[in-house]
Amino acid sequence: MNVLPRFLRHAPRLSGLCPAVALSTLAHRPIRLVPACCQNRTLQNVPRSRLVQHTGVRCMASSVQIPSDLLFRQLFDYQSYTYTYLLADCQTQEAILIDPVLELVNRDTHLIEDLQLNLKFAVNTHCHADHITGTGELKKRFPSCKSMISKDSGAKADVYIKEGDRVVFGNKELNVLSTPGHTNGCLTFVLHHDGRPVLAFTGDALLIRGCGRTDFQEGCSATLYESVHKKILCMPADTPLYPAHDYTGQTCTSVREEKAYNARLTKTKEEFIGIMERLNLPYPKAIDKSLPANMVCGVLEDLPNK
Amino acid sequence: MNVLPRFLRHAPRLSGLCPAVALSTLAHRPIRLVPACCQNRTLQNVPRSRLVQHTGVRCMASSVQIPSDLLFRQLFDYQSYTYTYLLADCQTQEAILIDPVLELVNRDTHLIEDLQLNLKFAVNTHCHADHITGTGELKKRFPSCKSMISKDSGAKADVYIKEGDRVVFGNKELNVLSTPGHTNGCLTFVLHHDGRPVLAFTGDALLIRGCGRTDFQEGCSATLYESVHKKILCMPADTPLYPAHDYTGQTCTSVREEKAYNARLTKTKEEFIGIMERLNLPYPKAIDKSLPANMVCGVLEDLPNK
């Protein structure tokens, strides 16, 4: 069974690096080396013939409209492969940041200032194990900013949110869904427009063609499977999904694609649990530093044993 | 004069790596080291007080609507920091790829297949010096796909395009603008909706808070300055701009932001020329391999001295 995201090419570089994703022991596609001008890089042979038609729809591509007065910026951390999301209501200038990274607070601060936004909340989808959150540092830069996380994360924050809550910024809001399994406190945030979801931020619960690993913190494969199917993949097919990480250079996916092509979550629950059990991933490289720091909102001075 | 993109943190890693951007000899902001848990990474101190108000508008944040039947995916190459763009007309399934990267043709092929698209054109904004184009390899995977580039690039392609041409896919089209200066053949592609530009792909002419370097190929600072001001920054302020590269983890900017904050292109033409002359950048690492390959559409077998 091949549960490797099919276009992954960075597995060697990622070995031991990424606690969120599970890749290392998976079967690999045939690889051929490319000529000297791009040595050290691989190009996988893929038969063109496998054009998938099993989804029963004529075209997998569709698009939804986000509100015209919503500012949305996707930001990336090359070290931890983390996506940070800036959302703002253009009318009121109120903004939120989802999953900021400590070392990139400076970049994010400049962007927020350049756009003349008021940062209201710095929100984490969960207590991360692969990077230190920027929420504590952002609160120093933007004194009116409050940090937010799930109470179930066990981490410190100004505001605790749970299933059914709303993260309000200006005239916009995110609906909070509880999607545990990678950790107990994992949340998914959904923005609605014209009565339907148009943006969903899935954290580590659902990644592009993959999912967060379930072998540390409070990881539970059965719980993750239920979360993804009952909370995320039940949304309309063209709902865009924005994960907390990607390791293949992709920025976005959709419910339709993950229901058709997610290598793990298209399986039965029992098969999924088996896949996750057999991953035998290396110990996450940054967890011993990241987790204690994230329990205190990324404020390193507040660490008990700094 | 500080012409460094203000939130850049990857300068050491990029030294000699990125022919498109010019960074290495620039003045740097104060840096402090962060504590042990994130050693080897830097967090720049930035005074919160510099909130910019000189633009004369109340809020820099605004948004435009892209067509609801346009599929748009931004893709990234971690090696060359190149953005590849997939655009498709959801009604007809016809698609184009802008600036594909050879080593990521496999990823792109899978995505195009997953979305059940017909790749009509593989288009280059210019003849790249920092990576080998994926257009030749894509043509093997998708026999109906044609490669496209500017005639002024001097590179081989199936279709040559120039200022005023249209790149048509299904019911959608990109307008072609000639924006030389980084190279002679540099193009910018603009998609209109409801009578206004809603997406612009600027290649290496305009990067986020920066621009392509002008010290190799047919680089000319004066020409680049004219191109950017007369073709790109004259578009409506909220036009989203998507560059061929970014080195700071950002995915997008706008005309408004670059007119206000671009460290080089907000200067006078003479100052800009001086800035570009004083950059003293290292020789581009990949140019000797990339340029010959890109002259033959990235088909390595067609290299005269392979």
For chain B, domain boundaries: 71-302
Residue from the list B64, B106, B116 with its beta carbon closest to the beta carbon of A43: B106
Q: Which residues, 6+ apart, have CB-to-CB distance to B1 below 8 Å? A: B27, B275
Q: Which residues, 6+ apart, have CB-to-CB distance to B91 below 8 Å? A: B69, B170, B171
**B251 and A71 in contact by Cβ < 8 A?**
no
Size of interface A-B (CB pairs under 8 A): 223
Using the Cβ of B193 and the Cβ atoms of chain A, whether some distance falls under 8 Å is answered with no
Per-residue DSSP letter, A26: S
Q: Judged by CB atoms within 8 Å, which residues 123-162 of B form the interface with A?
A: 132, 137, 141-142
Tell me the C-alpha distance between B62 and B104, whole Å.
33
Residues in chain A predicted with pLDDT less than 50, given as ranges, are 1-57
**A300 and B93 in contact by Cβ < 8 A?**
no
Please determine, for residue B154, whether its predicted confidence score (pLDDT) is greater than 70: yes
Please determine, for residue B210, whether its predicted confidence score (pLDDT) is greater than 60: yes
Calculate how close chain A gets to B114, using CA atoms only, in Å: 7
- What pLDDT score was predicted for residue B306? 55
Burial of B267 (0-12, 13-18, 19+ CB in 10 A): middle
- What pLDDT score was predicted for residue B60? 75
Using the Cβ of B77 and the Cβ atoms of chain A, whether some distance falls under 8 Å is answered with yes
**B61 and A116 in contact by Cβ < 8 A?**
yes
- What pLDDT score was predicted for residue B227? 98
Tell me the C-alpha distance between B132 and B130, whole Å.
7
**A48 and B141 in contact by Cβ < 8 A?**
yes
Residue from the list B44, B50, B132 with its beta carbon closest to the beta carbon of A37: B132
Average pLDDT, chain B: 84
Please determine, for residue B88, whether its predicted confidence score (pLDDT) is greater than 60: yes
**A116 and B70 in contact by Cβ < 8 A?**
no
- What pLDDT score was predicted for residue A303? 80
- What pLDDT score was predicted for residue A152? 96
- Tens-digit pLDDT profile for residues B273-297: 999 999 999 998 999 999 999 999 9
Using the Cβ of A277 and the Cβ atoms of chain B, whether some distance falls under 8 Å is answered with no
More confident: A250 or B29:
A250
Domain B71-302: CATH superfamily is Ribonuclease Z/Hydroxyacylglutathione hydrolase-like (3.60.15.10)
**A79 and B113 in contact by Cβ < 8 A?**
no
The model's pTM: 0.86
Using the Cβ of A68 and the Cβ atoms of chain B, whether some distance falls under 8 Å is answered with yes
* Domain A70-302 fold: Metallo-beta-lactamase; Chain A (3.60.15)
- What pLDDT score was predicted for residue A43? 39
**A106 and B58 in contact by Cβ < 8 A?**
no
- What pLDDT score was predicted for residue B305? 65
Residue from the list A74, A78, A90 with its beta carbon closest to the beta carbon of B78: A78
Using the Cβ of A262 and the Cβ atoms of chain B, whether some distance falls under 8 Å is answered with no
Cα separations (Å) of B21 from A72, B37, B120, B229?
25, 31, 30, 18
ipTM of the complex: 0.85
Tell me the C-alpha distance between B199 and B74, whole Å.
12
Using the Cβ of B61 and the Cβ atoms of chain A, whether some distance falls under 8 Å is answered with yes
Please determine, for residue B175, whether its predicted confidence score (pLDDT) is greater than 80: yes
CB B150, CB B178: distance < 8 Å: yes
Read off the tokens for A241. Answer: 């999904």
In A, which residues are within 8 Å of B72 by CB distance? 63
Tell me the C-alpha distance between B23 and A291, whole Å.
34
Using the Cβ of B44 and the Cβ atoms of chain A, whether some distance falls under 8 Å is answered with yes
Tell me the C-alpha distance between B184 and A188, whole Å.
47
In A, which residues are within 8 Å of B64 by CB distance? 68
- What pLDDT score was predicted for residue B46? 39
Calculate how close chain A gets to B236, using CA atoms only, in Å: 15
Residue from the list B6, B90, B142 with its beta carbon closest to the beta carbon of A61: B90
In B, which residues are within 8 Å of A115 by CB distance? 59-61, 257
Percent of chain B whose pLDDT exceeds 90: 74
Confidence class for position B94, pLDDT limits 50, 70, 90? very high
Using the Cβ of A228 and the Cβ atoms of chain B, whether some distance falls under 8 Å is answered with no
- What pLDDT score was predicted for residue A59? 63
Tell me the C-alpha distance between A217 and A210, whole Å.
19
The side-by-side arrangement of strands in the sheet containing B146-150 is B70-77, B82-89, B94-98, B118-123, B146-150, B159-161
Tell me the C-alpha distance between A101 and B89, whole Å.
35
Using the Cβ of B236 and the Cβ atoms of chain A, whether some distance falls under 8 Å is answered with no
**H or E element at residue A159:** strand A159-161
Calculate how close chain B gets to A277, using CA atoms only, in Å: 27
- Tens-digit pLDDT profile for residues B188-209: 999 999 999 999 999 999 999 9
**A250 and B290 in contact by Cβ < 8 A?**
no
Using the Cβ of A32 and the Cβ atoms of chain B, whether some distance falls under 8 Å is answered with no
More confident: B67 or A53:
B67
Per-residue DSSP letter, B91: T
